Structure 1
């Protein structure tokens, strides 16, 4: 059972082990080897997935996404945390 961890601005986020991922039409598709479940990410989710391929804090992710997309920092942080919590609930990321 996955331990629930609060994700905050200083949390370091990275891919969980045991995932196979590929690009498909500018989107990311993934399969969990452990559960056999498939997942798909839209273009923004795919960009976040790319960024967390290397360990980054949530704060660093927000700063990068604000530079790349037309979004204010508050909205970006809120939406990013919601997205990361969904990934965490599915066991797709690790919080270091």
Structure 2
């Protein structure tokens, strides 16, 4: 399964992360530095494994430590329509 940013969302960099506007619901969301790294990688289709490897490498954390948190974030983003499964 791969994930991609929804075409119904626009985002912009803010001081310590990213602000996202869901154009369907007119709701704003924000992500911290790690969330922003994940969001940016989903400009192109990315799998949970791809995202886990990238975050583990970028932040020097074991993949098994961050995988669950990334999965939770992806589930939340899906629930809110920020990303789609492709």
Residue 23 of structure 2 corresponds to which residue in structure 1?
Answer: 33
Unaligned runs of 5+ in 2: none
Bigger strand share: 2
Residue 3 of structure 2 is matched in structure 1 by 13
As a proportion of its length, which structure holds more helix?
2
The answer for the alignment partner of 2:73 in structure 1 is 83
| Structure whose alpha-carbon radius of gyration is higher | 1
Per-residue deviation, 1:26: 3.5
CA shift, 1:84, in A, is 0.5
Paired residue total: 86
For structure 1, the residue ranges without an aligned partner over 5 or more in a row are 1-10
**Distance in 2 (alpha carbons) for counterparts of 1:30 and 1:48:** 13
